Amino acid sequence: MTTVAEGAVALVDDERDWNPSTKAGWFAMADTPARSRPRSATTGELKAMAPGERFVYDHARAAWHANIGPIRTPGIDALFETLDEVVGANRQDGEKVKAAVVLDALPGLGKTTAALSFGQAFHRTQIELYGAQVPATGGYWQRIPVVYLGLTSNTTMRSLNAMLCRFYGLPGADRGNADWLANRAAECVANCKTRLVIVDDVHFLDVNRRDGREVANHFKWLANTFPVTFFFVGVGLRARGLLDEGLCGADAAFSQTARRWSVASLDPFEIATKTGRATWRQLLLGIERELVLANAYRGMIARDLADYLFARSSGHFASLMSLLARGCYRSVKTGIETLSVELLDAVRIDQAAETAREHLHASLAAGLLPAGTDRTRREGAA
């Protein structure tokens, strides 16, 4: 284990372990400036660093590489456009029906990252435009433009309302019945001028159960009672019946809602089409610029590892970014300070990506996928 040498610069713990499902965590995340990229150092400069300085520098690089982004891709741009349109146009008076947006995509494609990123930008704009406080008789309320909730299995009407109350930091969120909690949560939504409620991992709702249907109806009630846009995020929502019957579907109480929702998706990256390859390359170029390795060079990943990285990640953001973060960590630790097939081959990532990898490697080697510029292919290393 590495130890910090005597007299070393004290290590600043900059792990940002906030919980965006609480007001305090959400504000901390929205108010904290983005990390800044550690400066690049040459191999000579690395060698000249005192052990303590080097430890601090490598620590900063590990944190940086683990948090690159959020990178804007064409898919994310399209999603933000839809969100902006719906939220911006949802200014109907109280008695009118408000639209919702649903993001339904496979696991690990960056849904939560995109939702949080949009939410943060929206939060900042609202506070900039309207101020941090909402005037009220005898005082003021804190403006809380965005609420973020991550559902869990067995979310019931009561636990959902408790979650909402907990987000707003209301005391007694664990006590009281569902109705009492619902009223308190609704008061907060109204008083704090909440405009956007992001509900993540909605696939945990089971519309075949009474609990699940009650929660879905509560969302509709909130959206219809207050000027709130709901942004539902989850995996396989259509297949689970959450779109047509559950969250957005028609029922006796909210028959108009069905027509007022937009469904967006995020697709895995692909390299089978020209556009897909161009997007993949653009993404890798963007990431390449962010890496801080002494022996990095232009084209290190965007040219020489493009096919390899696709095969390893099967075009999933989560697998790609964790492979690169771990690869960079290993590269720093071993002193290689560059990324290569040999180095990345030793890095294991999630099982789904590892299984897909074998299949894709075989397709790439057999030329079943369109030719790229990847050095692995040219040298037959795949």
Ligand X SMILES: Nc1ncnc2c1ncn2[C@@H]1O[C@H](COP(=O)(O)OP(=O)(O)OP(=O)(O)O)[C@@H](O)[C@H]1O
Residues that bind Mg ion (CB under 5 A): 111-112
What is the residue whose two structure tokens read 């609202």?
126
Residue 301 CA to residue 287 CA, distance in Å, equals 9
Residue of 109, 205, 247, 309 that binds ligand X (CB under 6 A): 109
What is the nearest approach in angstroms of ligand X to the Cβ of residue 206? 18
Q: Residues 122 to 161: which contact ligand X by CB under 6 A?
A: none
**327 touches ligand X (CB under 6 A):** no
What does 352 bind: Mg ion, ligand X, none (CB cut-off 5 to 8 Å by kind)?
A: none
Q: Residues 235 to 264: which contact ligand X by CB under 6 A?
A: 235
Return the number of the residue (70 or 299) whose C-beta is nearest ligand X: 70
Q: Which two tokens stand for residue 70?
A: 């959020």
3-state helix vs strand vs coil in the chain, percent to 5: 50, 10, 40
Bond prior to 51 in cis (omega within 30° of 0): no
Pinpoint the alpha helices (H) of 92-249. 111-130, 157-167, 178-191, 210-225
Return the number of the residue (68 or 160) whose C-beta is nearest ligand X: 68
What is the nearest approach in angstroms of Mg ion to the Cβ of residue 201? 6
Return the number of the residue (55 or 110) whose C-beta is nearest ligand X: 110
**107 touches ligand X (CB under 6 A):** yes
**321 touches ligand X (CB under 6 A):** yes
> What does residue 351 show for φ and ψ, rounded to 5 degrees?
-65, -40
**Residue of minimal CB distance from Mg ion?**
112
**344 touches ligand X (CB under 6 A):** no
Return the number of the residue (111 or 158) whose C-beta is nearest Mg ion: 111
Distance in angstroms between the alpha carbons of the first and the last residue of the chain: 34
CA 301 to chain centre: 23
Per-residue exposure over 261-286, b if at least 16 CB sit within 10 Å of its own CB, e if not: beebebebbebeeeebbebbbebbee
- From 161, 117, 122, 116, select the one nearest 145 (Cα to Cα): 122
Return the number of the residue (107 or 131) whose C-beta is nearest ligand X: 107
What is the nearest approach in angstroms of ligand X to the Cβ of residue 335? 25
**51 touches ligand X (CB under 6 A):** no
Binding site for ligand X (CB under 6 A): 68-71, 76, 107-113, 235, 317-318, 321
